[in-house]
Amino acid sequence: MNVLTFDSRQCERIRRHLDAYLSNELLVETTSEILRHLETCEACTRELETRTRVRDFVRRAATNLMPPEELRLSIQRRLRETQPGFWAGSRQLNWAVALAGIVVIVLGGIVTHEWVRVVRGRRIVAGVLAIGVADHVQCAIKGHNYPEVANPPEVLRKKLGPQYAGLLEVVHQNLPGFEVLEAHICSIPGSSRKYVHFITRGRGTILSVILTRNDGAQLPSGGAFRTVVAGHVNLYAAREQGMNVAGFESRGYLGFVVSDLDRNVTLQIADQLAPPLNAALQTAG
């Protein structure tokens, strides 16, 4: 094993903490000490960059395996099969009685059934659309991860990477009156979900256009829960954390337009964006 010699004992001390620093596990005081050291030490800064790069490589490579759709469907099917027993809440309850109960409920309360379905559907819509709102609030609003002067398009394309760089032009062209300040791939602490995030400014506010792989999250099918249809794309709307969000599903992705603008304005914007994004995602893969 090669052992490096350091001019500074401080470097050696800092490097022992770098793993915990990278995992955000240090006390504030130690973190400050590391940051102070990094300001003046090029070698340790380079070392941290390399370690961060290795982590990012793994993060990217280890999450690109898409599970078979058939598996998800099979799990959902098996879960549904077990649900009646669970709902009955009694291990002794006989299947026939449970079935009879279900028949009675279906025959006796179509209206109730429909109401439950609508409430459930709405909750699912809100749950899925909350995925986009969470990123807008965390990254754009609380994190303020955008510059006051828009980053140049070539910088944004680089940040998006080859897979998503082409979407920048689509967002730019179909979002009149808004300036794209920032575009990047981001995630929320505690979640491995990746967001393709466009942060834009217009009409006196910040608006996010967000795409993320659906990873099993699905908007309810059928026309009952969608709000409008844009081209061939169903649009769904909800209000979460004080934000209005319009969302759609497209080619394995979920798309969101999130802002504190009026619900109808947000929907109009999504209405313009969803069809071209849907078309562009076909090539993004």
Partner 1 sequence: MTDRRANAQSFETLAMPLFASLYNFAHWLTQNQEEAEDLVQEVYLEAWKSFHRFETGTNCRAWLFKILFHRLHHFRRRWAKAARVEAFEKPEDQESVAAEPPVAHEIHDEDVLGALEKVPADFREVVLLADVQEFSYKEIADTLKLPLGTVMSRLSRGRKLLRGELAEVASTYGIKPAKDQASTGESA
List interacting residues with partner 1 (CB under 8 A).
1-8, 11-12, 15-16, 19-20, 23, 25, 41-44, 46-47, 50-51, 53-55, 57-68, 71-72, 74-76, 78-79, 82-83, 86-87, 89, 116, 119-120, 123-124, 127, 131, 187, 189-193, 213, 215-217
Residue 1 or 149 with smaller CB distance to partner 1: 1
Q: Is 238 left (phi over 0), alpha (psi -120 to 50) or beta?
A: beta
Q: How far is the CB of 141 from partner 1 (least distance, A)?
A: 21
Q: How far is the CB of 49 from partner 1 (least distance, A)?
A: 10
Where b means 16+ CB within 10 Å and e means fewer, 206-222 reads bbbbbbbbebebebbee
Q: How far is the CB of 82 from partner 1 (least distance, A)?
A: 6
Q: Which two tokens stand for residue 36?
A: 């102070």
Q: How far is the CB of 148 from partner 1 (least distance, A)?
A: 29
Q: How far is the CB of 266 from partner 1 (least distance, A)?
A: 22
- The radius of gyration of the chain from alpha carbons, rounded to an integer in Å, stands at 24
Residue 3 or 107 with smaller CB distance to partner 1: 3
CA distance 174 to 207: 13
Residue 57 or 95 with smaller CB distance to partner 1: 57
For residue 240, the tally of other CB atoms under 10 A from its CB is 18
Q: How far is the CB of 27 from partner 1 (least distance, A)?
A: 13
Where b means 16+ CB within 10 Å and e means fewer, 4-34 reads eeeeeeeeeebbebbeebeeeebeeeeeebb
Residue 2 or 282 with smaller CB distance to partner 1: 2
Residue 94 or 112 with smaller CB distance to partner 1: 112
Cα 63 versus chain centre, distance: 14
Residue 131 or 230 with smaller CB distance to partner 1: 131
Give the angle subtended at the CA of 185 by the CAs of 180 and 187, to the nearest 5°. 120
